Amino acid sequence: MPPTIGGLVDYLFVPRLDTRVENEHFQQELISAMTRVLDSGQYIGGPEVESFEHEVSNFLGVEHAIGVASGTDALTIALLAIVGIEAQDGEVITSPVSYCATGSAILRAGLQPRFVDIDEESFNLSPELVEAAIGPEIRAVLPVDLYGRVAEIAQIRLAAGNRPVIEDACQAFGAKTPTNEFAGTLSNVTAFSFFPSKPLGGYGDGGLVVTRDSNVADLVRIIARHGSRERYYSEFPGFNSRLDALQAALLRVKLSRVKSARLQRTHIARCYQEELKDLTWLRLPQDVEGHAWHCFTIRVLNNKREHLIRYLKDRGIEVVVQYPAPLHWMPPFKTGQCLPIAEQLCSELLCLPIWAGMSDAQINHVIQAVRFAGKMI
């Protein structure tokens, strides 16, 4: 029995994520998938990659799914395919609260990010502010489905007018909109990441571009293969960006668990919502239908975040500040803009552990520790 103070278990290790616990349930299937690839002798492209692309496009209900080497590549290649492969002038509207890959992809595609502030409740791009920022220099809009909540894609498409919308759904595989469409199915083109912590996490790096537009899909494949439409003939300098056969085989196993893993994370999110809702020194994320709960991100008010992090760490709970600074403060993307909601959010946010396979004891330990912390800090 772990030691307790005042009914609270004093220490229980709750990692930010433990993919090994999740894997235990289908370890044998993963091993069979790896063995199949080893035995096939085909490690680049081939039937595993084709089957995965086919299964994932069926799962999402989009016509084209193209595996690439990472989410960052998926975003960069999607941008190049939709905006053009020539050196570009122009800007792409995006969110200032995202992983730096969102900004890097825009720069790598030869464009400049134009950050627009986020909505305080959803943490996603505000369609009204997108509309206000549209001007002749804007080439595209790139919303991010932050923490697994799908951005207001339909409204953003309206705000974007005839400009394309490229969705960064790297954190939102399997998430749905309030009208029950999968993340990635409403935009012109979408990028997913298979980084291991993501809702469809792989066993190394990997990414995916999805689109309904066959011209865009063709271009994505060409860009990802050194600008080659035909083998051994390059038309322009593209990338070498492929999803490995081994990754594809393993992801096929994981794809069949995406829904149940999302339901498990939803259960944890609902426990947190229910048990923490009376704490006035923090704000909980909105509980919207279809959320993928890649992160459960609270806002810690009154400058208590550092104390809370230390308090939880001392009790074995790993939390993460994802992200401590908005993109427009970072050297590659500095725009000199003032975006008050994003800046405030970055100073308050904290992601509590949420992953498929967390035990009831671990969920309860987080809840009790956060509640107890409120009395101590």
- Minimum distance, C-beta of residue 25 to ligand PLP, in the bound complex (Å): 24
**Closest to 305 in 3D by CA, of 362, 353, 352:** 352
Q: Helix 71-83 to helix 214-224 angle, to the nearest 10 degrees?
A: 120
Part in contact with ligand PLP (CB under 6 A); list of ranges 44-52, 69-77, 178-186, 261-269: 69-77
Number of Cβ atoms within 10 Å of the Cβ of 267: 16
Cβ atoms of 165 and 141 within 8 Å: the answer is yes
- Minimum distance, C-beta of residue 169 to ligand PLP, in the bound complex (Å): 8
- Minimum distance, C-beta of residue 143 to ligand PLP, in the bound complex (Å): 10
- Minimum distance, C-beta of residue 124 to ligand PLP, in the bound complex (Å): 11
Q: Which is nearer to ligand PLP, 207 or 238 (CB)?
A: 207
Determine which residue in the list 99, 115, 147, 323 makes contact with ligand PLP, applying CB under 6 A.
99
Cβ atoms of 355 and 317 within 8 Å: the answer is no
* Gap between the Cα atoms of 297 and 276, Å rounded: 13
The answer to the question of residue 366 lying near ligand PLP (CB under 6 A) is: no
The answer to the question of residue 71 lying near ligand PLP (CB under 6 A) is: yes
Cβ atoms of 148 and 294 within 8 Å: the answer is yes
**Closest to 187 in 3D by CA, of 218, 206, 163:** 163
Q: Which is nearer to ligand PLP, 311 or 323 (CB)?
A: 323
Give the contact letters, 122-151, x = binds to ligand PLP (CB under 6 A), - = no: ----------------------x-------
Q: Rounded to the nearest 5°, which phi and psi values hold at 184?
A: 100, -10
DSSP 310: H
Q: Which is nearer to ligand PLP, 149 or 365 (CB)?
A: 149
With CB under 6 A, what is the number of residues at the site for ligand PLP?
16
- Minimum distance, C-beta of residue 207 to ligand PLP, in the bound complex (Å): 5
Cβ atoms of 114 and 335 within 8 Å: the answer is yes
The answer to the question of residue 101 lying near ligand PLP (CB under 6 A) is: yes
- Minimum distance, C-beta of residue 72 to ligand PLP, in the bound complex (Å): 3
The answer to the question of residue 53 lying near ligand PLP (CB under 6 A) is: no
Question: For residue 14, is it left (φ>0), alpha (ψ between -120 and 50) or beta?
Answer: beta
Q: What is the largest CA-CA distance in the chain?
A: 71
Q: Which is nearer to ligand PLP, 107 or 279 (CB)?
A: 107
Give the contact letters, 162-181, x = binds to ligand PLP (CB under 6 A), - = no: ------x-xx----------
Cβ atoms of 369 and 312 within 8 Å: the answer is yes
Determine which residue in the list 67, 148, 207, 238 makes contact with ligand PLP, applying CB under 6 A.
207
- Minimum distance, C-beta of residue 294 to ligand PLP, in the bound complex (Å): 8
The answer to the question of residue 309 lying near ligand PLP (CB under 6 A) is: no
DSSP 97: S
Tokens of 275: 């048990």
* Gap between the Cα atoms of 68 and 49, Å rounded: 10
Contact set with ligand PLP (CB under 6 A): 70-72, 75, 98-99, 101-102, 144, 168, 170-171, 193, 195, 205, 207
